[in-house]
Amino acid sequence: MGYSPERKAAVLKRMLPPNNTAIRHLSQEEGISAATLHKWRAEARGKGQLLPDADAGPEGWSSRDKFAAVLETAALNEADLAEYSRKRGLFPEQIKAWRVACEQANDWDRSSTARMSQATKEEKKRIKAEEKAEKKADKAEKDADDKDKDTSKDKCITYDVRYTDGTSDAGEFCGGNTVTRSDVPGLQALALHISCSDDFTSPGKSDLDGKTVEAYALHKGDKVCGDPNLPAAPVVTVTIDCFEATIESSQGVEHSTVVYVDGTKEYFWGAGRTSFTVNSGEGREIHAVYVDGIRHDAGIQDAGACDNYSTEAESDL
C-alpha cells in the first residue's frame, strides 16, 4: 500500500521528541504495519534525522541519535539549547554530557591511533632487529662452515717441472712454496721454489742440482703460471721387491729400464700397458727403474728385505 509523502512526514513527526511515540502505538493508531514504520525511521536516520527509540528514556538513546543531537546543538546558545532540549524531552545537561562523551571518544580515537602508530613503529623496529640478527647469524654460520672446510687446499700448489735431461718433478705441495727432498724424497731438484714469482732462472730461489728447466706449469687455485697447456706428467709408482719390480702408471708405458745392483741394465718393452711386473730372471737384485726414460724416484717404494742395494748414482740412460 502506498502512502503520500505528507502522511509519511506526519507519522515521522510523531516519532520525534517530545512526542516520542512508540512504533507499536503508531502502528495501532495509524493502521500502518510496524515493519513499514521501522523502515521509515531507518531511512530518516540515514538522512541524519534525529529519531531516538521511543521505548527508551534519554539515556537509552542510541549512540547515533546522541551524536546527531550533539551535532544539531553544537552552535546553539544556552537559551536555544534549553528550548531544543524541552521539545525533545531532554535536559541540556544530558546533551552536554553526550558532547563530552563524543569529545572523549575522539580523544580516545586519536590516542588509540597514536598508540597503534607507536606499536607499529616498535613492531617494525623489532622485525628489523630480528632480520638483522638473523642475517648476522646466517653470516656467522656461513663463516663457520667455510672455516670448517679444508681451506688448506686453497694453499696447495700443483707443480710439474720438466728438465732438459728428461727427468721431471711433479706433484702437489701444501707446506709453502719451496719443496725440498726432505719434503718429497726422490725430488730431482735439491730445492724447488714453486712460485709464480720464479721462472726457475734465478739460482737464489731454486737449487736445481745442476739441472735446467725445459718447461713447467704451476697451479694454485685458479691461478696458473708457466705453460698452462703442458701435458700432464704420468703418475708412476714403482715397487721394488729384490728381484722384481711392479710398475703402475696413469698412462701407458712404452718401455722401462731396470738398473741392477751390479750396475748392469736391462730393457723391457711396456707396449702401452699401465701395470706390469719385470723380473731379472737371473737372481740379480734391482737397484732402480727408469720408466719411459724418466727416473721416478719419488714413487719408488722398497717393499723387500734386501739391504745390499748400491747407493752409487748410475749414469743417465
Beta-carbon contacts of 95 under 8 Å, excluding residues fewer than 6 positions away, are 69, 70, 73, 81, 84, 85
Residue with cell 742440482: 209
C-alpha span between 49 and 248 (Å, rounded): 107
Q: Any idea what DSSP says for residue 188?
A: S
Residue type, 67: F
Which neighbouring-strand residues pair with 178? 193
Residues in the chain: 317
Segment 45-65 shows an average pLDDT of: 63
Q: Which residue has the higher pLDDT, 29 or 59?
A: 29
C-alpha span between 17 and 66 (Å, rounded): 13
Binned at pLDDT 50, 70 and 90, residue 50 comes out as low
User: Between the CA of residue 294 and those of 48, 144, 257, what are the distances in Å?
Assistant: 109, 45, 10
C-alpha span between 179 and 60 (Å, rounded): 101
Cell of residue 210, nine digits: 745442476
Reported as type and span, the H/E element at residue 12 is helix 5-15
Residue with cell 512504533: 23
C-alpha span between 296 and 234 (Å, rounded): 10
Tell me: the pLDDT tens digits for 71-88?
888 888 989 888 887 877
C-alpha span between 51 and 9 (Å, rounded): 12
Most trustworthy range by pLDDT among 38-52, 107-121, 137-151: 38-52
Residue 13 confidence (pLDDT): 82
Domain boundaries, the chain: 1-148, 154-226, 236-302
Of 223, 240, 248, nearest to 300 (Cα)?
A: 240
| pTM above threshold 0.75 | no
The backbone torsions φ and ψ at residue 153, rounded to the nearest 5 degrees and listed phi first, read -65, -30
The pLDDT of residue 24 is above 50: yes
Largest Cα span, the chain: 144
The pLDDT of residue 244 is above 80: yes
C-alpha span between 65 and 94 (Å, rounded): 13
The pLDDT of residue 311 is above 70: no
Residue 300 confidence (pLDDT): 46
The pLDDT of residue 258 is above 60: yes
C-alpha span between 166 and 194 (Å, rounded): 19
What's the angle, vertex CA 69, arms to CA 83 and CA 73, rounded to 5? 55
Tell me: the pLDDT tens digits for 157-182?
888 888 888 778 888 888 788 888 88
